[in-house]
Structure 1
Amino acid sequence: MNDARRDFTRMGFFKTYVLPGVSIFLIPVLTLLFFLHAQALCDGRARDAILANVATSNLSPARREQAVAFAVEHPYSELIQDERFAADVDSTTRFYFATFRWMIRLSALSIVAGVAMCAVAAIGLWLSRRSQRAQYLSLAAGWQVMRIYGALQAIAQGVMVLALSFWVTALWMNFYSVKLVGAAGLVAAAGTLAVVMAIFKKPRMDMHVEGKVLAPAGSPRLWEDLGAVCEKVGTAPPDNVIVGVDSNFFVTETPVHVDGSVCRGRTLYVSLALLKQMAGAEAEAVLAHEMAHFSGDDTLYSRKISPLLARYGLYLQSLSENPIALPVYFFMNGFRALFELSRGEQSRSREFRADRIAAEATSPRDLAAALLRISAYAEFRGEIQQDLFSRKEALEAADISARIERGFHEHAMAFAADPRLGDLEPAHPFDTHPPLAQRLEAVGVPIDSQDVPSLVASPGDGRWYDAIDAAEEIERGQWREFEERFRDVHEVTLAYRLLPETDEERAIVAASFPDVEIEGKKGSLSLACDSLHYSAWPGRIAFAEVLGFVFEGQSLLVSYTRGGRHVATIPTKTFGPRQAEAIQAVQAYYGRYLSAASHCEEKPDESQADTV
């Protein structure tokens, strides 16, 4: 990444997280300045009144001079704190000056607390870079301190906003608005309540995976070979092995819901689709990499940190939904973003460690070949799925697995020989995995080596795939379920991407947006996927003609163009209890049209393009 890109990234991060985070000081600083001004203004008025009384008094010149000096040196706000002096002052004046005094103290304390929290956050972030254990402890302690700070800060800023809503107009304009003060009070109370309630919310941490659990007795060869890998790495075998057709391998200690059961303890997920394409030594290198995560306690700390981050995320969401808590949200979101930088750094370090251990347990070439095949597979599968998903007709069969089988080896060789492979951008700071080029360089197989294409020149032998009993049957069933879901999602989303021009396209859209008729007392509303009609109109109005909808009283006005601008009326009140249904139906059908029109504008029909 060049210097300009790096500077842009730093500036973007500053604008997105750091600058908004400073807004935590906005209300306290404004409150401090305003009430210092208010106190000084009232001190000045009181001093002027005292000096006027002194000037007209019967005091001797010497006593008068002493009284003037005393009034100048001791402001009224100071004098009124003396109980004997305050006893002679009316209660309203005492209340006003007490308000100034406490708002100054509260805002100053809020500013000091904010600065202290910045220091605490900085120390925690610095410590979090030292090790995974330090990262967990800094987040655990930081979360406890910051959520309490956030709640107290939200309460304090709510009080400040309430005070400002009264005193700004009262001091500068000699009046106050009960509605403004009431609205400020409601907002402050709602924000405070939301922040406090968010502290006690617990997010769901369920992890669901599509796959099948392999019992140790069911695939003895696999478990035996896996045990040998674990012995090389220096860790115990996993408690569970799940096989599926996703494009990756992973390990976790989080409970995993799979195939109607829950896997607890240390779980390994293995991709059957990838194992089939890999040589035995390559698969062994990948599994050694995954087992190295167990040996380094990576999954242990992921299991500990994930719930904290989930609770933090839920807390941030509650803060973001309340205007009075937005400054606290920006501040805490900035800390979360900085923590993610540290987390990404630690995660990339442990990936390099796992790669190193895998290369030592097998060989650098085996690991490099495995990484190349996995990257090529993910790219090829993504291209196939994108091609299928972009089609504008219902899919009779997704046939993703068959297309991968036919073309993967050729794609893998082209992928490894692509000169652009070495131009991969460095990882974004939030990425948890280093880029492929850095990983290959770290294990001693630089991406620009002439030997790299040879790593995937031969098709994989699928040795580990064959070690799984009934692997082909399991894989076929997994692909069948995945491709059925893919077709269903494609067909549902297709309705939002088509402006039907043929009977077949209209049938696809009508499956999700069928013709609807809603009866009212004085007429009926008819909706189709491309038009709408009210019984009092002379004809249908195509959504392509509609300029917009506007509510006026109990009627929905449809503005449309047809040889000029026109307005048609739908008296929604005549639908009685079905009024909301009618309005929602219009919004849904017109929203579908807008989505499809936008999609067609962005992506012209590729069937009309020349092909080679």
Structure 2
Amino acid sequence: MSQASDDFSKIGFARTFFLPALLIFLIPVVSLVFFLYIQNHYDEEARNEILQEIRADASLSAEDKAAAEALYINVPLSRLIMHPDFADIVTSQASFNYATFRWAIRLSLFSIIGGIVVFVLSALCVVASLRSQWVQYVSLSVSWHVLRIFGAAQVLIQGVLLFALSYWVTAFFFNIYVPKLMIIAGILALAAIAAVIKSIFIKLNNETVVEGTVIERDSSPALWQELSSICAKVKTEMPDQVIAGIDDNFFVTEQSLTVGEKKYSGRSLFVSLSLLKQMNGSEADAVLAHEMAHFSGNDTLYSQKISPLLVRYEHYLHGLYEGGVSLPIFYFMNCFRALYEVSLKRLSRSREFRADRIATEVTSPADMAGALLKIIAYSSYRAKVEQDIFNKEEVLENANVSQEIALGFDHYAGSFLSTPDVSLLQTSHPFDTHPSLVDRMQAVGCTLESPDSQVMLSAPGDGQWYRNIEGAEELENAQWQEYEDRFRAYHEESLPYRFLPETDAELAIVVKAFPEVQISGEEGLLTIDHAGIMHHPWESPVPFSEIQSCNMDDKGRLNFILAEGKPNKINLKKFMDSDQQRVIEAVERYYSRYLAAKAYQEHVKQAGTTEVEELADTET
């Protein structure tokens, strides 16, 4: 089973990343073959003409004719004219054509050979990156700079080749050239080059915002004292700041963070108030020992170094993707980004197992396993509660996420281990990936199937570390209130996009966000509401449900194709200049709302049908 899965994974990688990466050779290979062919064609024609002239020249002796014929037969004209003594035997136009062929062939070869060399070099860097975090950083840094320069060069070269092809393909085969085709090719090439240049030099915002409160040493001495004890056992230095929040994870980082309106640098530890409340003291010891172990292994140091490279890489990929004709280079670069992701995940797993091992040595296997179970169960339940609340199709007076979690978590924990695919769940983290729950449990010497696992999960926490934070309850409540206010506001914003109103309550929600819009024009009044469009020249209103497509023609008219095939038009030129954009934006916004609501209702209907079928299968 494992071997079959690995084979499928290899096939999937080849199809998704490797084969598309080979498209980088498409334009240069086509150019190389084409320009070699037409160069040989021109050489053959010129050779025949010159040989005819030589044979017809009565002034030449038989010996001179034989020597001249041998020269032009054995040396193609494209090579011969590069010698100063023969440069003037062709016209200036022919000389320019041959120079074009010569440079197109050179650029094609450079592109192909460069692609192969960079491919091999980058592959070696990826392989080397598996050795250690330091090698991973160095190899990623080297390959990033090489790939960036190579990618920019390829965009330029392939843009030039594409432009040359746009002229010579039609000129050679059909004896014509198409200016529009050349202009389009030129614009595409320039757009790709501009997109790449922009992605290289644009200033990126690397700010990482963390929601929480920085716990000062003077305000919670008990917390810092306990943390000092943990650091001593793990043999690492203390963090520079501790941030307490309500996210469902713990993490450490050396990246600069923004908390509130203040920036913090150095070593940062984030602790979850909500999770600390669920754990007993020894479980929290295990979690914090795990996090401090990342400091002792320089994990956060290399994450800090690698993260900006990855951000740059992703932005560069976006520029290549947006460049259009640079898509082949995008696929090439994306292949190596995917390979590096394999390397990053492998070393990330090693770091996590190392940190788990150290935490287990500092505390115990049971403490580490219990902490893992509670963190993942809590995170899973929180996601379920938030999804259930968000799915409610009514205006929420209060989100009450924290209250729902507090009331139902104990019951959920009792059945959590029977959840399908529970072994594959991972702890959430803003910077790294983690091994699955079953792998981490086995690594610390515990199993999910053991009765002890359910006992550890169900055991109530004493909240020892929670109590070590002065004013923890007030901090947590304030953060939950702010979070739930945002949650409720976002939920209310989403409601109008769910309904094709069938009740007065649903209609009121939609109309509140999408009131009727009226815009006057030369042809009369245009009215747009949640249900459709009414335009004075039309015989009747057009519901959004009857519109199959909408487009704008070159005469400035919005054309609506209806279900029965009849087109209805809105002539924008009949509106004031200041109102034309209002018409476009209103049509787009209101029609998009209808399409979103239609898709949502179809999804709900499909989900309901699936649930009924699953229930029937279960009963059967």
TM-score tier by shorter-chain length is over 0.9
Q: Unmatched 5+ residue regions in structure 1?
A: none
Partner letter of residue 263 of structure 2? V
Partner of 2:379 in structure 1?
Answer: 378
The 1-side partners of 2:183 and 2:608 are apart by 61
Q: How far is the alpha carbon of 1:536 from its aligned partner?
A: 4.2
| Alignment pair present for 1:603 and 2:604 | yes
Q: How far is the alpha carbon of 1:444 from its aligned partner?
A: 0.8
The 1-side partners of 2:157 and 2:590 are apart by 46
Q: Residue by residue, what CA displacement relative to the aligned partner does 1:223-243 show, whole Å, maximum 9, x if unpaired?
A: 111111111111111111111
Q: Residue by residue, what CA displacement relative to the aligned partner does 1:52-98 show, whole Å, maximum 9, x if unpaired?
A: 22332335555544443332222212211211111333222222222
Partner of 1:555 in structure 2?
Answer: 557
Q: Residue by residue, what CA displacement relative to the aligned partner does 1:272-298 show, whole Å, maximum 9, x if unpaired?
A: 111111111111111111111111111
The 1-side partners of 2:143 and 2:194 are apart by 22
My pick for the range that moved more, 451-460 or 530-539, is 530-539
Q: How does 1:271-282 map to 2 (within 5 A)?
A: 271-282=272-283
Q: How far is the alpha carbon of 1:420 from its aligned partner?
A: 5.3
| Alignment pair present for 1:571 and 2:571 | yes
- Change in CA separation of 1:28 and 1:434 when aligned onto 2, cut-off 3 Å: same
| Alignment pair present for 1:334 and 2:335 | yes
Partner of 2:309 in structure 1?
Answer: 308
Q: Secondary structure at the match of 1:603?
A: helix
Q: Residue by residue, what CA displacement relative to the aligned partner does 1:79-126 show, whole Å, maximum 9, x if unpaired?
A: 112111113332222222222222222211221111110111012111
Check whether the contact 2:278–2:460 (CA below 8 A) recurs between aligned residues. yes
Q: Secondary structure at the match of 1:604?
A: helix
Q: How far is the alpha carbon of 1:423 from its aligned partner?
A: 6.9
Partner of 1:543 in structure 2?
Answer: 544
Partner of 1:584 in structure 2?
Answer: 585
Partner of 1:18 in structure 2?
Answer: 18
The 1-side partners of 2:243 and 2:122 are apart by 39
- Change in CA separation of 1:40 and 1:539 when aligned onto 2, cut-off 3 Å: closer
Q: How far is the alpha carbon of 1:188 from its aligned partner?
A: 2.2
Partner of 1:9 in structure 2?
Answer: 9
Check whether the contact 1:230–1:236 (CA below 8 A) recurs between aligned residues. yes
Q: Secondary structure at the match of 2:581?
A: helix
- Change in CA separation of 1:605 and 1:123 when aligned onto 2, cut-off 3 Å: closer
Check whether the contact 2:107–2:157 (CA below 8 A) recurs between aligned residues. yes
Check whether the contact 2:24–2:328 (CA below 8 A) recurs between aligned residues. yes
Partner letter of residue 233 of structure 1? V
Partner letter of residue 169 of structure 1? T
The 2-side partners of 1:549 and 1:100 are apart by 46
Q: How does 1:502-513 map to 2 (within 5 A)?
A: 502-513=503-514
Q: Secondary structure at the match of 2:248?
A: coil
The 2-side partners of 1:303 and 1:370 are apart by 26
The 2-side partners of 1:360 and 1:581 are apart by 66
| Alignment pair present for 1:259 and 2:277 | no
- Change in CA separation of 1:555 and 1:93 when aligned onto 2, cut-off 3 Å: closer
- Change in CA separation of 1:176 and 1:605 when aligned onto 2, cut-off 3 Å: closer
The 2-side partners of 1:289 and 1:537 are apart by 69
Partner letter of residue 463 of structure 2? G
Partner of 2:362 in structure 1?
Answer: 361
Partner of 2:42 in structure 1?
Answer: 42
Q: How does 1:529-540 map to 2 (within 5 A)?
A: 529-537=530-538, 539-540=540-541
Q: Residue by residue, what CA displacement relative to the aligned partner does 1:150-189 show, whole Å, maximum 9, x if unpaired?
A: 2222211122112222222222222222332233233323
Partner of 1:243 in structure 2?
Answer: 244
The 1-side partners of 2:568 and 2:36 are apart by 59
- Change in CA separation of 1:435 and 1:164 when aligned onto 2, cut-off 3 Å: same
Q: How does 1:481-492 map to 2 (within 5 A)?
A: 481-492=482-493
Matched length: 608
My pick for the range that moved more, 199-208 or 358-367, is 199-208
Check whether the contact 1:417–1:452 (CA below 8 A) recurs between aligned residues. no
Q: Unmatched 5+ residue regions in structure 2?
A: none
Partner letter of residue 484 of structure 1? D
Aligned CA RMSD, in angstroms, stands at 2.5
Partner letter of residue 53 of structure 1? E
Check whether the contact 1:201–1:311 (CA below 8 A) recurs between aligned residues. no
My pick for the range that moved more, 415-424 or 594-603, is 415-424
My pick for the range that moved more, 462-471 or 515-524, is 515-524
Partner letter of residue 496 of structure 1? Y
Check whether the contact 1:417–1:453 (CA below 8 A) recurs between aligned residues. no
My pick for the range that moved more, 470-479 or 102-111, is 102-111
My pick for the range that moved more, 523-532 or 185-194, is 185-194
Q: Secondary structure at the match of 1:532?
A: strand
The 1-side partners of 2:419 and 2:584 are apart by 54
Partner of 2:113 in structure 1?
Answer: 112
- Change in CA separation of 1:25 and 1:559 when aligned onto 2, cut-off 3 Å: closer
My pick for the range that moved more, 551-560 or 116-125, is 551-560
Check whether the contact 2:254–2:265 (CA below 8 A) recurs between aligned residues. yes
The 1-side partners of 2:72 and 2:517 are apart by 82
Percent identity at matched positions?
Answer: 46
The 2-side partners of 1:243 and 1:274 are apart by 11
My pick for the range that moved more, 526-535 or 32-41, is 526-535
Q: How does 1:464-503 map to 2 (within 5 A)?
A: 464-503=465-504
The 2-side partners of 1:57 and 1:606 are apart by 89
Q: Secondary structure at the match of 2:605?
A: coil
- Change in CA separation of 1:258 and 1:431 when aligned onto 2, cut-off 3 Å: closer
The 2-side partners of 1:554 and 1:92 are apart by 45
Q: How far is the alpha carbon of 1:4 from its aligned partner?
A: 4.2
The 2-side partners of 1:2 and 1:35 are apart by 49
Q: Secondary structure at the match of 2:469?
A: coil
Partner of 1:295 in structure 2?
Answer: 296
Q: How far is the alpha carbon of 1:370 from its aligned partner?
A: 0.5
Q: Residue by residue, what CA displacement relative to the aligned partner does 1:29-63 show, whole Å, maximum 9, x if unpaired?
A: 11111111111111111111122223323355555
Give the TM-score, by structure 1 length: 0.94
The 1-side partners of 2:128 and 2:213 are apart by 40
Check whether the contact 1:166–1:181 (CA below 8 A) recurs between aligned residues. yes
Q: Residue by residue, what CA displacement relative to the aligned partner does 1:242-272 show, whole Å, maximum 9, x if unpaired?
A: 1111111111111111122222211111111
Partner letter of residue 483 of structure 1? E
Partner letter of residue 364 of structure 2? S
- Change in CA separation of 1:393 and 1:351 when aligned onto 2, cut-off 3 Å: same
Partner letter of residue 42 of structure 1? Y
Q: Secondary structure at the match of 2:451?
A: coil
- Change in CA separation of 1:195 and 1:424 when aligned onto 2, cut-off 3 Å: closer
Partner of 1:56 in structure 2?
Answer: 56
The 2-side partners of 1:540 and 1:520 are apart by 17
Partner letter of residue 392 of structure 2? R
- Change in CA separation of 1:440 and 1:467 when aligned onto 2, cut-off 3 Å: same
Q: Secondary structure at the match of 1:203?
A: coil
Check whether the contact 1:125–1:338 (CA below 8 A) recurs between aligned residues. yes
Partner letter of residue 526 of structure 2? L
